[in-house]
Chains A and B, each alone.
Chain A
Amino acid sequence: MDNKVNYLLRLGDNALILSQQLSQLCGKGPALEEDMALTNVALDLLGQTRLWFEYAGELEGAGRDEDKLAYHRDAHDFKNCLLLEQPNGNYADTMMRQFYFDCWHYFLIVGLTRSVDVRIAAIAEKSLKEVTYHLRRSGDLIVRMGDGTELSRAKTQAAADELWMYSGEVFAYDAIDEAMVAEGIAPPADELRAQWLAHVAEIFAEATLTMPPADAWMQKGGKQGRHSEHLGFILAEMQFLQRAYPGATW
């Protein structure tokens, strides 16, 4: 498969899997405002997914549209990072996963607005305002929960530590990512990582949280299709309709 198609699928799969996870919280948010925020963010991510998949499907030229890419692939064909398939857990887990992702996503999207691929740059430009308020919101909640009560701080620190080993995969570039950097399509990993670490450090300091060591061992494999068992359960629900009634349409 073409490097660019693969790269676009990675972008789309990250957004899709996180969107699906957030959608599962619809009606279950800890407060009405949070419930609406989670589903609004899920909707933004779903819209971005469609834009990435639409382009990937066109480039691939095999007749796969965004629905086929979302519903007709099995777990090993998904290229999302392992972070996004981690369970919703408690609200600190949900928001820490979101914060780690949003922070990377924001700096990535800023970088992609300068991509030499004009279609990628346009999708990034369209997404930029959305990912900006996503990051403002998740950073704000991390500060409020970290610098909150003794219990909220303990849970937020536990979530930070627990999810930390999944935060590095986005910066572990393989041949596909490096090809995108070489072509001027995607920003380099070290630049993104430096920006990510600086912003996480700033938010954690304000949240009175301890940042885990930057050189800690990191999980990887999701981008290459090697997933945890969580993804299978997510897909089972997300793809149920198309699996039970193949080709069903509105």
Chain B
Amino acid sequence: MAATPADPSRAGSSLAATPDAAQVWAWLAEVSDPEIPVISIVDLGIVRDVRLAADGACDVTITPTYSGCPAMQVIADAITDALHAHGLQTVRLHNQLSPAWTTDWMSEDGKAKLKGYGIAPPAQQVIDISGLRAGRNANANAALTAISRRPQPRLVVACPNCGSTHTEITSQFGSTPCKALYKCLDCREPFDYFKCH
């Protein structure tokens, strides 16, 4: 994953005018996800907060998709490199675990780009932990509902190739933790599905 290369003239001009948070968000929207390069880390919902401190430093808060996501270090480095290239001298990264990342944070634009790339975007929430997250008011039954083997509502996953919803799951797990393997029963194309999480 290549960070935006440093461009001295551009960096110089950025330095002259202090950027605002919206500008930093726009720069971060150009940083690609290392595993799915068509979408940015902003599309994916990994960037949670951007703040410009009084001392001129930039604080960026990010959250991992999965606990074991091997791309997090690469993403952190890419953010730092991109902001340095835009003239921000001091970039401080913060890792936030709670609230836990969910595919609900993926932008509509990001979902469209995923589809164009041949990966079916997340359809609907399948692991509902809302009842468990409620802390002291947690519903005791929620813990059991989440692991029930009773039939779950059937997912409608459209083939990114032909658009047919006549598709079938091949494997719950795919090439990365965030994807499952599907196949289209109409155009016969196998494809990745970005799982709800």
Inter-subunit contact B171/A47 (CB<8 Å): no
> Contacts of B172 on A, CB cut-off 8 Å?
33, 37, 133, 137
Contact status of A128 and B129, CB under 8 A, knowing A43-B70, A47-B67, A122-B98: yes
Inter-subunit contact B97/A125 (CB<8 Å): yes
- Cβ of B127 under 8 Å from chain A: yes
User: Mask for B66-103, Cβ within 8 A of A = 1, else 0?
Assistant: 11111000000000000000000000000001111000
- A7 to nearest B CB, angstroms? 18
Some 15 contacts from A to B, beta carbons below 8 A apart, are A33-B170, A36-B171, A36-B174, A37-B173, A43-B177, A47-B64, A48-B68, A50-B67, A51-B67, A113-B132, A122-B97, A122-B98, A123-B97, A125-B97, A126-B97
Closest residue of chain B to A39 (Cβ to Cβ) is B173
- Cβ of B143 under 8 Å from chain A: yes
Inter-subunit contact A47/B66 (CB<8 Å): yes
Q: In the complex, which residues 119-169 of chain A have their Cβ closer than 8 Å to any Cβ of chain B?
A: 121-123, 125-130, 132-133, 135-137, 139-140, 143
A152 to B130, CA, bound (A): 37
Candidate in B68, B100, B127, B197 with the most chain A CB atoms within 10 angstroms: B68
Main SS of chain B's interface residues? Answer: loop
Contact status of A132 and B64, CB under 8 A, knowing A40-B177, A47-B69: no
Inter-subunit contact B97/A37 (CB<8 Å): no
A128 to B98, CA, bound (A): 11
- Cβ of A32 under 8 Å from chain B: yes
Contact status of A33 and B171, CB under 8 A, knowing A113-B132, A140-B149: yes
> Contacts of B98 on A, CB cut-off 8 Å?
121-122, 125-126
A132 to B97, CA, bound (A): 17
- Cβ of A173 under 8 Å from chain B: no
- Cβ of A68 under 8 Å from chain B: no
Inter-subunit contact A139/B147 (CB<8 Å): yes
Closest residue of chain A to B98 (Cβ to Cβ) is A122
- A131 to nearest B CB, angstroms? 9
Inter-subunit contact A139/B149 (CB<8 Å): yes
Inter-subunit contact A127/B67 (CB<8 Å): yes
Query: Looking at the complex, which of B29-37, B48-56, B133-141, B154-162 is the stretch in contact with chain A?
Result: B133-141
A106 to B127, CA, bound (A): 13
> Contacts of B133 on A, CB cut-off 8 Å?
113, 125, 128
> Contacts of A45 on B, CB cut-off 8 Å?
68
User: Mask for A158-197, Cβ within 8 A of B = 1, else 0?
Assistant: 0000000000000000000000000000000000000100
